[in-house]
Structure 1
Amino acid sequence: MTTFDDRVALVTGAGSGIGRAMAVAFAAAGGRVVVCDIDQERAAETVAEITAASGDDGRAVAVTADIADEDSVAALVETAIGAYGRVDVLCNNAGIIDSMALPADISPAMWDRVLRVNLTGTFLVTHAVLPHMLRHRRGAIVNTASEAGVRGGAAGAAYTASKHGVVGLTRSVAWAYAKDGIRCNAILPGATLTNIAEGATFDQAGAARLSPVLALGDQFAQPEQMADAALFLASDAASFINGAIVPVDGGWSAG
């Protein structure tokens, strides 16, 4: 019930980390994968990994897109439909981290950028894909939220607000389209070994204030463990799970 033969998955942020693990997992389960990333080289590397494992040149296609830009998203979905004719699964995974700055210290520019990518970007891709899912009256959306989407002290102000927004969007889409054969769920990753913080500069005062909560989540997951959860939620095995916000954090949220 977790096979994806003849189904098409679009994964954003699929050039590395959790997104790459999701793309590889969907391909291994028989799906066709649209590998979306803002970094062309990394997207191509993911496709090469899928092709090498499957021996199928048509198993995945790389698309470079900025999910924060509406025109770029429109081109992404147009390319996906042109390549495979449909989108059965959407994994809204692309996102950026903030500087860990607290509300009084974060710059408006950083606030705008983080919200634009993490929340508005998730909306834009969902908005573009939904008409195609509605046409087929079938679809599964899995959003990558965060422990910061249900906590106030697990990240800086912008990231926290953006991921709370992703949780709300997930529930809205789930409720709105449940009778149309479309499900929408979200995973809440805990600390995971990815490159999301690559090149980031952190606000020391904010990081110090957040450290008691962050220390509770010091058990690190592999990206593949997040991909496994997404694969399940997108599969027929989860056919009656809709609007769920699922912690994938090794028990961090249970404490």
Structure 2
Amino acid sequence: MKVLILAGGLGTRLSEETHLIPKPMVEIGGRPILWHIMKLYSHYGLNEFIILLGYKSYVIKEFFSNYFLHKSDVTFDLSKNTMEIHEMHCEPWKVTLIDTGLMTQTGGRVLRAKSYVGNETFMLTYGDGVSNVDIQKLLAFHKSHGHAATVTAVQPEGRYGNIVSDKDDKIANFMEKPPGDGAWINAGFFVLEPRVFDYLKDGDNTNFERTPMENLAKDGELYSFKHYGFWKAMDTLREKNKLQEMWDKGNIPWMLD
């Protein structure tokens, strides 16, 4: 099963870091947050990734093209123009990097990956949020209801898109960033069926969190998987520093390996 990761946004609320690199490449514990997200999926045996690029896409391409250099000891023999990599450490990942446009909206980025996904269930998440969500249970829940889409829902401090679901976890309403605290919100970590592409009708201008999710909810095709464990987005420098502080103290609930 393929995992799509949205990694193309401008990251303006984290401009202290993102004036040089895209937000998914901001490091926590010496590794990009993108790497941390991929490690979660890999823990559950999902190792085929499609990274949806936009802003400063070349930085992410260079990271993966030189992955061994980032993870291993290396000897360069300049006289022979050779490179020897020692004790190679790598993950069993297959990574496809797609340039989806600088200003393309989230739904438009997903739509551009349609030919790579094929006619199979796939996963989707944001490139700036870490969690210890149980991917195996998430997938089992998605299969149990048999509908087009599942979104992982959490209860953080507030300020995100509000999810209203019924007793069976079918979403009755989706409202982006309402006032108030304590609501279940969109945490990413989606499971989607290929027919979701039919809801992305505005091409590059499709904001996945707006009309597509609202219409999926109206059609009874969107369900929420409630996650009671750890989840944290990295939208601001304060949140980045908090994650780094947790790492430094060895309090890393999102690292399962």
TM-score computed with the length of structure 2 as normaliser: 0.38
More helix by share: 1
- Normalised by the length of structure 1, the TM-score is 0.38
Ranked by relative contact order (alpha carbons within 8 Å, sequence separation 6 or more), the top structure is 2
Which is richer in strand? Answer: 2
Larger radius of gyration: 2
